Structure 1
Amino acid sequence: MTGIEAVSLEKAIVHKVGNPTRGEELKLSANPLTLNDEIVRGLLTRYFLAPFNEHECYHFTHISDLDMNEVYTYVRNIFEDPANFHRESVFLAQLLYNKSTHARVKEGELYVVLFDKVPFEGEEKKAVGIFKSETKETFLKVFPHGAGWEVAAEDGVNINKLDKGCLVFRTNESDGYKVCVVDNTNKQQDAQYWVNDFLQVQPYTDSYHHTNQALGLCKLFIEKEYAEKFDVSKSDQIDLLNKSMDYFKTKEQFNLQEFTEEVIHHPDVVDTFMDYKRNYEANRNYAIDESFDINLVALKKQAKVFKTVLKLDKNFHVYIHGRRDLIERGYDEESGKKYYKLYYEEES
């Protein structure tokens, strides 16, 4: 998130949340933090807000009634009356503690923060932030001692690495607010307690979401399923990655049937792709529309992770941008090594 220099950090509190299955405790703070130091306030604001992508929005959900989503209710109470801040932060800590029973869940600090003037969708919004730091790093502290200096090691939180976060903007209340989420730890499907069990959020099904998820689906399919089931070379994978990205770059709207016909071609591969898409959606509990407008922000984000580099041992990296027909793969029996032959017109 950018443009956060004018954000006002109004209130913040820290609670210690352990894993009850390991006998770790829940330690609740009696008072909010005293933040008189403007430098510390600015560092905390950047630590909390910088990692978020404001284009990737979620909303609170519940299987029967939105009001039964506890995080949604506690945050709404803070928005309605900031005097409720401490009480609701305690409820949030107690709820997270009860959800932290998976073996992979680490003990950490839970921060609950009330912000004002957070830039979002061209306006300045009130926002409630819920953050958890789980990863500790060792820092060296150099300090004067007599006529010289001493060095000591201290464990602390790296302010450039937010482990988990949730930023709730005061907008779209009846639909479960607009929420941004960060989860950089416990990404395994069986340990996503932060998103699924604690927050209970789902993505807004807008053009950004569909573009982002469709490209993510294509990338995973090509790198895993396509490679495993059809015994294709790395250059063939890169070729299909390039064709997929080119489709999104040259079209204004995605159409599933058109995409499979123009990019994937082969009926067996198309059938496997459609099966993979259904499993992908079922595992993530959302559907990708068969037709949607292509979002340029999501396209730019995904383009950064579409790797089109052919790595040959530790000697060569070949960047492939297109024209699979100009690459020839073979095996040299005399040397016992595989080779690639590249055809080109000019060298630069």
Structure 2
Amino acid sequence: MEIIFNALFKIDIQAPAAEQLAMPDGNNDLRSYIVELLDKIIADPDKKGFVFQSETTETRRLIDDIIAVNDNDYYSYSVHALDIANRLHRKEVDSDNRNNLDVDLLKGIAVISLVKFENNTQKVIISKADYNEFLDVLSYTKRQGFPIKKKIYKAFVADINETGDITKVAVYDTNSVFTVYWYRDFLELQQVHTDEYNTEKVFNIIETKILTPIKKISKRDYIELWNATVRYFRIKPEFALENFVEEIITSHVPFDPKVDVREWAEKTRKQFGKTDFDSKFNIAANKISKRFKNSISLTPQIDLNLKDGIKDLKGTIQRYQEDNGNKWVMIKSEDGFEYFNDTEIMNNE
């Protein structure tokens, strides 16, 4: 990756406009921070696809202006980047005045970059990294700065082909939900896929391409992962690919050694690289509630019907094998207890 152009702006809604900051020369902590930020944005899998509301919006025009600049014309890059930064500043002021944001608008820096790759494609990246408040361990006073380990940002990436055309745009947001003012008001974008579409497509892919193949290897691992997946979609307000992989797949302790969670985590990631849905979206659980069911045949006469995710699956349903080889499925149930005879299998232990 070669950085063709970088511009740095301070964004503060208390100020009259965006303030362009000098980009320091040589290697230093700020430059390293920005390079790491760009690398993280480009590699971030938790993105959402968008399109411009029209080809003639102000934001689209300003991005086209940057693409059209000759590589060595730094002044023209700076002029167009300042226009973008001032637009961001105006939209943050407007949003604050409307007082309809779910999150506070923080002071931060806007980084506007043009980067080039070996195959002659380019990316225009617009990002805003937020300040965090922290306590200085030497002076014991509150100060502001950028979090190094966990970067907090909003970002826009436009993919540019060899002929200078925008082929794809994506939005990233480390907030729990995508901030509306960022993609709709500032960038003038609209979503490619609805949350309902994403929810249905993603759950189907996970169930058919990830969980069902595991069932052929280990039914115990399958039902544990199926149950955890259902609860994720039922309880979580938002789906994010990496969060799902880490929380559901890689954290699972397999019953069968043939189930390699790292392998299945990578298979899950690859599914998102070749399909037409987003890797981050608000979950519309009502759209797939009928899919939160699973039926397990116990005998030719009895099926165990799971109607939703179970909070404590291991503490609710267990298996038991007697010394004589008889196998049992035991279910913790206050309601069902009154229907059946007492058993003495536990006395065999």
Q: What TM-score do you get using the length of structure 2 for normalisation?
A: 0.51
Residues 156 and 317 (structure 1), Cα distance of their counterparts in 2 relative to 1, 3 Å cut: farther
Q: 1:114 aligns to what?
A: 113
Aligned pair partner of 2:121 in 122, 125, 129:
125
Letter in 2 for 1:155: Q
Give the distance between the partners of 1:57 and 1:302, measured in 2 at CA: 6
User: Considering only aligned residues, what root-mean-square deviation do their CA atoms show, in Å?
Assistant: 4.8
Q: What residue number does 2:144 align with?
A: 155
| Aligned partners of 1:169 and 1:178 also within 8 Å | yes
Cα deviation code 1:299-329 (max 9, x no counterpart): 89979x999974349x95989xxxxx96746
Output one character per residue of 1:220-266: Cα deviation in whole Å (capped at 9) or x when no partner.
xxxxxxxxxxxxxxxxxxxxx7x873324489xxxxxxxxxxxxxxx
**Quick one: which amino acid aligns to residue 134 of structure 2?**
T
| Partner of residue 216, structure 1 | 199
Which whole-Å CA distance do the structure 1 matches of 2:19 and 2:146 have between them?
Answer: 19
SS of the residue corresponding to residue 50 of structure 1 reads: helix
- Could you tell me how far apart the structure 2 residues matched to 1:181 and 1:192 are? 11
After TM superposition, list the pairs within 5 Å mapping 1:145-184 onto structure 2.
153-159=142-148, 160-171=150-161, 176-184=166-174
Question: Which one of 31, 38, 43 corresponds to residue 48 of structure 1?
Answer: 38
**Within 2, Cα distance between the matches of 1:134 and 1:201?**
22
AA aligned to 2:24 is: T
Cα pair distance change 1:327/1:202, threshold 3 Å: farther
* Correspondences of 1:69-88 after superposition (within 5 Å): 69-81=57-69, 82-88=74-80
C-alpha distance 154-15 of structure 1, shift in aligned 2 (>3 A)? closer
Q: Would you say the 8 A contact 1:166–1:180 is kept in 2? A: yes
Report the Cα offset of residue 194 of structure 1: 0.7
Kept after mapping to 2: 8 A contact 1:113/1:130: yes
1:165 shift after superposition: 0.9
Matched letter for residue 144 of structure 2 = D
Amino acid paired to 1:108: K
Q: Secondary structure at the match of 1:25?
A: coil
Change (3 A) 1:140 1:31: closer
The equivalent of 1:269 in structure 2 is none
Q: Quick one: distance in 2 between partners of 1:118 and 1:140? A: 40
Q: For residue 164 of structure 1, what is the amino acid of its counterpart?
A: K
- CA-CA distance at 1:61 after TM superposition: 1.6
8 A contact 2:107–2:130 mirrored in 1? yes
Larger Rg, first or second structure (1 or 2): 2
Q: 5 Å matches for 1:133-282?
A: 133-142=129-138, 153-159=142-148, 160-171=150-161, 176-185=166-175, 187=177, 192-202=180-190, 214=197, 216-217=199-200, 245-249=206-210
Change (3 A) 1:198 1:83: same
Q: Structure 1 residue 99: deviation in Å?
A: 2.2
CA distance, structure 1, for counterparts of residue 336 and residue 329 of structure 2: 22
Give the distance between the partners of 2:141 and 2:183, measured in 1 at CA. 37
1:61, 1:201 within 8 Å by CA — same for their partners in 2? yes
Letter in 2 for 1:93: A
Q: What is the DSSP-based 3-state SS (H/G/I as helix, E as strand, rest coil) of the residue aligned with 2:171?
A: strand
- Per the alignment, do residues 317 and 333 of structure 1 end up closer, same or farther by CA in structure 2, a change over 3 Å counting? closer
Q: Which residue in 2 is equivalent to 1:298?
A: 272
The 1-side partners of 2:330 and 2:183 are apart by 44
Post-superposition offset of 1:176: 4.4
Pair 136,154 (structure 1): closer, same or farther in 2 beyond 3 Å: same
Kindly state the Cα deviation for residue 131 of structure 1 after the two structures are TM-superposed.
1.4
Query: Partners of 1:130 and 1:38 in 2: how far apart?
Result: 21
Do the aligned residues in 2 keep the contact of 1:117 with 1:126 (CA within 8 Å)? yes
Match status 1:16 vs 2:8: no
Unmatched segments (≥5 aa) in structure 2:
213-267, 286-291, 293-307, 319-327, 339-349
Q: How far apart, CA to CA, are the structure 1 residues paired with 2:196 and 2:117?
A: 27
Residue by residue, what CA displacement relative to the aligned partner does 1:37-95 show, whole Å, maximum 9, x if unpaired? 255323211123304456657454234xx0x2212211221221143222222221222
Q: Residue type matched to 2:128 in 1?
A: K
Distance of aligned partners of 1:97 and 1:27 in 2 relative to their CA distance in 1, 3 Å threshold: closer
Check conservation: 1:10, 1:115, Cα contact below 8 A: yes
Q: What SS is found at the alignment partner of 2:333?
A: strand
- 2:334 — aligned with what? 331
| 2:111–2:126 contact (8 Å) kept in structure 1 | yes
Match of 2:255 in 1: none
After superposition, the C-alpha distances for 1:5-62 in whole angstroms (9 at most, x for unaligned) are x5436422213241xxxxx333333554224225532321112330445665745423
Match of 1:62 among 35, 53, 63: 53
- SS of corresponding position for 1:195: helix
Q: Are the aligned partners of 2:4 and 2:115 in contact in 1 as well (CA < 8 Å)?
A: yes
* Cα separation, 2, equivalents of 1:60 and 1:78: 18
**The residue matched to 2:185 in structure 1 has which SS?**
helix
